[in-house]
Every structure is written in structure tokens, then in C-alpha cells.
């Protein structure tokens, strides 16, 4: 086995190292989301279908599709056998689905500071490895009860919260300015992870049972952790096998925006910086739309549109496939605009908000008025999240603009605030669908989602910036810290 590993390392070393690093950034995000979103589909197979108070024939899905998984009789004679089922109420399920984000919230705030102090490589590698272990233990936790399952998901969220700030720290060290769009697009590996996971989980549940929908993703995560340590280093200077020409090119392109010393984040400056606060709001709006669809789309597809689990998983993943493709396209276009000086960085960030936030919000409004056909609903949701792929050129990249030295810290802070949407949105959905789950109830949810997209975009257009802020170098005298814009 040692021989093939050596040949594998030699083969990947023929490729530019920064390309290999970007591929691993993509894979780390893919795995993180695979372990994050699998519960959204799995839980449909883990629970007893919700019953009304009257003991009579129940139709949980307001659809004429008699084959829908959620249609059953009292006594569950028609419920498929995918493994043990638990009596978790709709409220219980919303807590379980939101538990990941409680943990994510805890760690995302300090994660950027940790990455800047200790390096992003170990943080990501350990996150992947221990997440694999916790995911494999989920069936055991579920058998131990609801609170054990919640604890498992909170711990998984804590590990996941370290990931993205650490990845932004690595991007700040590895990505030349005119390649940053493509590097940040690699973070859409999470979106692609959703694309793969929901159909995969649906098939695994219906063929092997829901426990394997945890075991197999856990095994994939363990393999990815090993590859991560082989391929990635904290910086070009720390990589043992990078070619000297490539190392010099990256370091020269970054110039003096990255400090060699370990700086403390300028907390007061951040709290009073309009461009950063505008980014904070913009990121919250983006994550509201994203997390709402992650936690609620399978429920909507299954209960309202009447698709079975496998089909619901596949159709729920389509919007994420669109987002992955659009993210790369928007990232490439943005890099071209920047490299050829077609637009300044600030102009790029603000104008791309039309695609990343405003158009997705308008599509959700459209869903309320024209989304009566199941496939029309799927198409509208796909277009909404597809255009949101432009976030690679707005909120996902702006922390790199404002303060390359603190890119991880900035992203950790905005993720800390934005992640609150991950547990608020399931509670919101549970509130509106507590009695029944029909399009009438979901219209309120979609309207709130539309506002969460559009209002932050308007705030960012007024107050946002793409300039390096003077507090990027807090230890340097003010005269040496004039704001400048990357070109």
C-alpha cells in the first residue's frame, strides 16, 4: 500500500500545488455539507409520520399522490421499513435539525482567530476526522434518545464551525488576487456536497436503511481527512513539495497585504466599520436563504409537492447543482473583470449583489404567486439558488478584500451571526406548518426568505466596500495604512 501512495503523491505533484489545494478546499466543503445536510432527509425515515389528534385515516401530504411516503394510516401499516422509527414530534424534529447550527454558532466566532494563530491545515483536517467519527455514531445516538441525537449534532456543528474560517485563512495565503474568485468558488464544494448527498441518502435509505446514510458519508469523510494532510499546507512557504517558481509567484502576487506576524484582530475597528457591518448583514441574508432550503426543502418537496424520499432528495438537490455551476461561472467572470480592470473591486462586489441576492429574492416572491405546479416550484427554487451562486463574488469574498490579514476572523464573525438563521428557519417552518403543511402556510416562509435576501443587498450597495481597510495592519502607523483597492 505504501508504494501506490508514493506514486499518488508523485502524480499530484506534477500539477500546480495551488490547484491541488483548491481541489482539497472544494472537497473539505463537500464533505462538511454532506455530514451537515444528510439529517434533513434521514430524519424523514427516522420518525413516525406526524398524526393529527383524531384517531382516523390521515393524509399528511396535501396532494393527490397516493404513493407519497408521508401518507399512512394510524398504526403505521403503510409506513416503509427503513429501520427503527422514533416518536419525535414536529417540534422535536425542528430542534434536531437546528442542533447542528447551535454547535456551529459556538465555534465559528473563535475559529478565525484560531486559524490565524495556529494555521488552517490542522483545524480542517481534525474537523474532518472527528466529524467522520461522530457521524458514524449517529445511529447509536438516535437509539439512545432524542437528546443524545441533539448532543451528537451539536458536537458535529462545533467541528463544522471551525472549517470555513480556516479555509478563508488558507485562501488568503494561497490565492493570487486575480485568482481569488476561482478559489472562493471552491468553497461551493459545500453546495455540490448537497447535490450529491440528498439523492445518495434517498437511495441509501430505500435500499439499505437510514443507518447506512450515516455510515457511508462517515467513511468518505475519513478518507478525505487523510488526503487533506497529504496535499495541504498552511502556506506556500510551509509546503514541503511546492516548486520554488510557484511559491515565489504566489508570494509576490500577494505583496504586503499579508503580514508575517501574528496580529490580534481589531475588535473596536470592526464594530465601527460600515463596510464590515454591511458585509455582516449581507452574509446573514445569504445564509438565511441557503440554510432555509437545506433544512426545509426536503420537507417541502415531500409533504407539499408529494414526491417520495428518493425523488424529493434528488429534486431538492437540483438547486444546489445550479448554484455550484453558477458559482464557478460568476467567479470566473469576476476574476476576468478584476484582471482586465473592467470594474473596480467595490463596483464588482456591489453590482454582483443583483445576482446573488436581489434576483433570488424576487424568485421566492414569484414562487408565492405562480408556484402551484410541483415542477414549476422546483424550477423556481432552482433558479433562485442558482443565481445565488454569484455570492462567490459578494459576501463570500468580501472578507478577503477588507482585511486579508484577518480574512478568517472576519468570516468567522459573519458566519457566527449568519448561522443563527440555521436554527431560526426550522423553528419558523415548524411554526407555520404545525397544523398542516400546504402551500398556503409555506407562502409566509417564502416571503420572509425573499425579504432576507433583498433588504441586506440594498444595505450593502449603500455601505459596502471592496477596499483594504486601514485596520488590516493595526500595528502599523496610520500614515502607512492608506486604503487601497486591489486591481
Residue 411 near residue 419 (C-beta atoms within 8 A): no
**pLDDT class for 37, splitting at 50, 70, 90?**
confident
Domain-by-domain residue ranges, the chain? 11-48+84-252, 265-473
Query: In degrees rounded to 5, what are phi and psi of residue 111?
Result: -60, -40
Number of DSSP helices (H) and strands (E) in the chain, helices first: 22, 2
Query: In degrees rounded to 5, what are phi and psi of residue 71?
Result: -95, 125
pLDDT over 70 (residue 288): yes
pLDDT over 60 (residue 230): yes
The predicted structure's pLDDT at residue 68:
34
pLDDT tens digit sequence for 397-448: 999 899 888 888 898 899 888 878 877 877 887 787 776 667 777 788 888 8
Dist CA 113 CA 105 (whole Å): 15
pLDDT, mean of residues 219-225? 95
The predicted structure's pLDDT at residue 382:
87
pLDDT over 70 (residue 126): yes
pLDDT over 80 (residue 2): no
Other residues' Cβ atoms within 10 Å of the Cβ of residue 470: 18
pLDDT, mean of residues 244-273? 80
Mean pLDDT for all residues in the chain: 82
Q: Is there a common fold for 11-48+84-252 and 265-473?
A: yes
What's the CATH fold of domain 265-473?
Growth Hormone; Chain: A; (1.20.1250)
pLDDT tens digit sequence for 39-82: 988 998 998 875 543 332 233 333 333 333 333 333 444 677 88
The predicted structure's pLDDT at residue 27:
95
Check residue 259 and give left, alpha or beta (phi > 0: left; psi -120 to 50: alpha): beta
pLDDT higher for 371 or 190?
190
Give burial (CB, 10 Å; 0-12/13-18/19+) of 295: buried
Contacts of residue 140, Cβ cutoff 8 Å, sequence gap at least 6: none
Dist CA 214 CA 68 (whole Å): 23
Contacts of residue 372, Cβ cutoff 8 Å, sequence gap at least 6: 439
Decide: pTM greater than 0.75.
Answer: no
pLDDT tens digit sequence for 454-470: 999 999 999 999 998 98
Residue 450 C-alpha cell reads as 425573499
pLDDT tens digit sequence for 321-365: 888 889 889 988 988 898 888 889 999 999 999 999 999 999 988
The predicted structure's pLDDT at residue 53:
39
Q: Hunting for cell 511546492 — which residue is that?
A: 242
Give burial (CB, 10 Å; 0-12/13-18/19+) of 178: middle
Give burial (CB, 10 Å; 0-12/13-18/19+) of 222: middle
Gyration radius (Cα) of the chain, Å:
23
Residue 85 C-alpha cell reads as 422509527
pLDDT tens digit sequence for 166-177: 998 899 889 888
The predicted structure's pLDDT at residue 485:
44
Residue 221 near residue 31 (C-beta atoms within 8 A): yes
Q: Hunting for cell 499546507 — which residue is that?
A: 233
Residue 297 near residue 40 (C-beta atoms within 8 A): yes
pLDDT tens digit sequence for 18-27: 999 999 999 9
- In sign, the C-alpha dihedral spanning 8, 13, 19, 25 is positive
Which CATH code is given to the segment(s) 11-48+84-252? Answer: 1.20.1250.20
The predicted structure's pLDDT at residue 57:
29
**pLDDT class for 483, splitting at 50, 70, 90?**
very low
Amino acid at each position: 500500500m505504501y508504494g501506490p501512495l508514493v506514486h499518488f503523491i508523485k502524480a499530484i505533484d506534477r500539477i500546480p500545488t495551488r490547484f491541488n489545494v483548491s481541489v482539497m478546499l472544494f472537497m473539505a466543503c463537500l464533505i462538511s455539507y454532506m455530514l451537515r445536510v444528510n439529517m434533513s432527509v434521514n430524519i424523514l425515515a427516522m420518525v413516525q409520520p406526524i398524526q393529527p389528534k383524531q384517531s382516523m385515516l390521515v393524509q399528511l401530504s396535501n396532494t393527490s399522490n397516493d404513493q407519497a411516503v408521508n401518507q399512512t394510516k394510524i398504526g403505521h401499516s403503510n409506513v416503509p421499513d427503513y429501520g427503527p422509527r422514533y416518536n419525535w414530534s414536529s417540534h422535536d424534529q425542528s430542534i434536531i435539525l437546528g442542533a447542528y447550527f447551535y454547535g456551529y454558532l459556538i465555534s465559528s466566532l473563535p475559529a478565525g482567530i484560531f486559524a490565524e494563530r495556529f494555521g488552517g491545515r490542522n483545524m480542517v483536517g481534525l474537523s474532518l476526522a472527528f466529524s467522520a467519527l461522530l457521524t458514524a455514531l449517529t445511529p447509536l445516538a438516535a437509539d439512545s434518545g432524542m437528546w443524545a441525537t441533539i448532543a451528537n449534532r451539536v458536537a458535529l456543528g462545533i467541528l463544522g464551525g471551525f472549517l470555513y474560517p480556516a479555509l478563508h485563512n488558507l485562501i488568503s495565503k494561497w490565492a493570487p488576487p486575480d485568482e481569488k474568485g476561482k478559489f472562493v468558488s471552491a468553497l461551493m464544494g459545500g453546495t455540490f456536497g448537497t447535490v450529491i448527498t440528498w439523492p445518495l441518502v434517498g437511495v441509501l435509505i430505500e435500499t439499505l436503511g437510514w443507518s447506512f446514510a450515516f455510515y457511508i458519508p462517515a467513511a468518505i469523510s475519513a478518507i478525505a481527512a487523510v488526503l487533506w494532510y497529504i496535499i495541504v499546507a498552511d502556506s506556500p512557504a510551509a509546503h514541503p513539495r511546492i516548486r520554488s517558481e510557484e511559491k515565489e509567484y504566489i508570494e509576490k502576487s500577494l505583496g504586503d497585504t499579508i503580514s508575517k506576524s501574528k496580529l490580534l484582530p481589531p475588535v473596536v475597528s470592526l464594530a465601527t466599520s460600515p463596510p464590515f457591518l454591511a458585509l455582516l448583514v449581507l452574509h446573514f441574508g445569504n445564509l438565511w436563504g441557503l440554510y432555509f432550503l437545506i433544512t426545509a426543502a426536503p420537507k417541502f418537496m415531500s409533504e407539499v409537492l408529494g414526491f417520495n424520499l428518493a425523488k424529493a432528495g434528488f429534486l431538492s438537490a437540483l438547486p444546489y447543482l445550479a448554484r455550484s455551476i453558477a458559482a464557478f461561472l460568476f467567479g470566473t467572470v469576476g476574476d476576468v473583470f478584476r484582471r482586465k480592470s473592467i470594474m473596480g473591486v467595490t463596483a464588482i462586489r456591489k453590482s454582483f449583489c443583483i445576482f446573488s441576492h436581489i434576483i433570488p429574492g424576487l424568485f421566492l416572491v414569484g414562487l408565492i404567486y405562480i408556484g402551484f405546479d410541483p415542477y414549476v416550484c422546483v424550477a423556481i427554487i432552482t433558479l433562485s439558488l442558482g443565481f445565488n451562486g454569484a455570492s462567490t463574488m459578494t459576501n463570500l469574498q468580501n472578507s478577503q478584500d477588507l482585511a486579508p490579514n484577518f480574512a478568517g476572523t472576519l468570516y468567522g464573525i459573519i458566519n457566527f451571526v449568519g448561522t443563527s438563521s440555521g436554527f431560526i428557519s426550522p423553528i419558523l417552518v415548524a411554526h407555520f406548518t404545525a397544523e398542516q403543511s400546504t402551500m398556503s402556510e409555506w407562502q409566509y416562509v417564502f416571503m420572509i426568505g425573499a425579504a432576507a435576501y433583498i433588504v441586506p443587498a440594498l444595505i450593502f450597495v449603500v455601505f459596502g466596500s471592496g477596499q483594504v481597510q486601514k485596520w488590516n495592519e493595526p500595528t502599523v502607523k496610520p500614515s502607512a495604512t492608506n486604503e487601497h483597492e486591489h486591481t
